[in-house]
Amino acid sequence: MKKSAADDRMKAMSGLRFIQKIALLAIFTAAFVLPFFNLPAATAAQTGLSAQTGDYFQNLQNQQNALRTQIKEKEETLKKLQEQEKNLNNQIKTAQKKETTLKNQINQFDQRIQKLAVDIEITETKISQHQLRIRELNLEIKRSEEIIQRNKKNLAELVRTIQSYDHANLLEILLRNKNFSDFLSQTERVQQLQRETQKRLEEIKLAKLKLGGEKTETESEKAELERLTQELDGQKAAAENQKTEKKNLFKITKNQEKNYQKLLSQVEKQQLEIQQGILDLEDKLRFAIDPSKIPAPRPGVLNWPQKGVMSQGYGPTSQTGFTNDAYKFHNGIDVVGGFGTPVRAAKEGVIKATGDNGKYAYGRWIAIEHENGLTTLYGHLSSQIAKPGQKVAVGQIIGYEGSTGFSTGSHLHFTVYATSTFRTEDRWFGLLPLGGSINPLNYL
């Protein structure tokens, strides 16, 4: 009897401990698992891309692949054109060394026109490349925006699903589970949804970063496209100038060598007279330079205005290697890059003046005033694409190398003036820039 009572007490104690364990499990469940319990299996929209979504992105990918193929084809075209450009530059340099005859002059015009046609084709190819790249970037932006929107939608569905069970009571959750296997299955689903939620958040974050980069690159491509369009206009203008000069030469000489030589002799005499006048005026203006109003000499104050080789330095022509009866001082440096080479602003500033001296002095020229007390001059241009009053950035293309004015071959003449001494004067051959010059190598 006593043993039976003891056994009953032990059974009661054991049952109580079991109930306590169940209660503790229920409390744990309510506190930590209930918000995610008994959730339905993740849908295709929540865990991955549907077939329709996959088709959408595949279509974007196909379009991008087609654009990339076209861009690659343009790159191959550019390589061939650039090789042609190199060969034509060499031909032009060779032609400049030949005897000055009407035939050789006409040949030079033809070579320059041909070279400019290749330059134009190169620029047009680059424009096409950038247009294709912008289209490709627009597809990338579309893809990134779609990924962000779809992930936001999927994330919202996940949150709504979780919240729908957030207030379920303990008894309801326990009754829904028929056995321990169901319990584990639900736990796995909770973990899956938690992982998927984190994954969606990460994808949204990465897609936003990618989208920002794509938009920045698109703006950069558009700016380059605008620059190339301006460059194309300058190259076309240079080509038209060459055609006009060739036509005028035929008209004046009537395609007769003796007429050409007579014209050449007259022009050379006038060129020397004009050059002597410039020399006399600028000798005085150099003495008027106030050192306190210009930068101290140091490299990097100005950028080189174009790629190429310096063919003549600054100073007395007896030292620079080119001299004649009137041309005794070289007020700048000459840089040879090849006919049609882009000429760039050596520093940011404002276009102070532009001019065209025809066959005399600087030919087509541009002057830029800078805030540091210097004014830079770019002469012998084949064409100008900058206008007076225009603000230009350092490195911005303002014109193209040529052989206009008093020039024996294609090159850029680059002069640095003290702004306080710079001025322009109207002459019978056009607007002439004058000033107190400084050795450009002091600042390059």
- CATH code at 269? 2.70.70.10
The answer to whether residue 148 sits within a structural domain is yes
The answer to whether residue 28 sits within a structural domain is no
The answer to whether residue 401 sits within a structural domain is yes
Domain boundary among the residues 200, 222, 247 is at 247
Pair (220, 292) in one structural domain: no
Pair (234, 280) in one structural domain: no
Pair (267, 133) in one structural domain: no
Pair (268, 161) in one structural domain: no
Pair (126, 223) in one structural domain: yes
Per the CB < 8 A criterion, the answer to whether 367 and 353 are in contact is yes
Block means of pLDDT (10 residues each) for the chain, length 444 residues? 55 48 42 41 46 78 91 92 90 83 90 93 94 91 86 78 57 54 57 73 83 89 90 91 91 89 89 90 93 95 95 87 70 94 96 95 97 97 94 96 91 97 96 96 97
Pair (223, 272) in one structural domain: no
How far, in Å, CA of 416 to CA of 266, rounded?
30
Number of domains in the chain: 2
How far, in Å, CA of 70 to CA of 133, rounded?
10
The residues that bridge with 342 in the sheet, in sequence order, are 400
Structure tokens at 384: 């100008």
Pair (98, 241) in one structural domain: yes
The answer to whether residue 36 sits within a structural domain is no
Pair (162, 276) in one structural domain: no
Pair (262, 411) in one structural domain: yes
pTM listed for this prediction: 0.74
3-state secondary structure at position 49? coil
Q: Who contacts 158 (Cβ-Cβ below 8 Å, separation ≥6)?
A: 42, 46, 193, 196, 197, 200
Pair (406, 306) in one structural domain: yes
The answer to whether residue 66 sits within a structural domain is yes
For 130, the domain range is 44-247
Q: What is the CATH number of the domain that holds 79?
A: 1.10.287
State the DSSP H helix or E strand holding residue 417, giving kind and residue range, or none if neither.
strand 412-418
* pLDDT of amino acid 19: 43
Q: How many Cα neighbours within 13 Å face the side chain of 320?
A: 20
Structure tokens at 261: 């030589």
The answer to whether residue 85 sits within a structural domain is yes
* pLDDT of amino acid 99: 76
* pLDDT of amino acid 7: 59
* pLDDT of amino acid 75: 92
The answer to whether residue 12 sits within a structural domain is no
Pair (219, 319) in one structural domain: no
* pLDDT of amino acid 48: 47
Domain boundary among the residues 220, 247, 274 is at 247
Per the CB < 8 A criterion, the answer to whether 211 and 142 are in contact is no
State the DSSP H helix or E strand holding residue 333, giving kind and residue range, or none if neither.
strand 333-336
Pair (307, 351) in one structural domain: yes
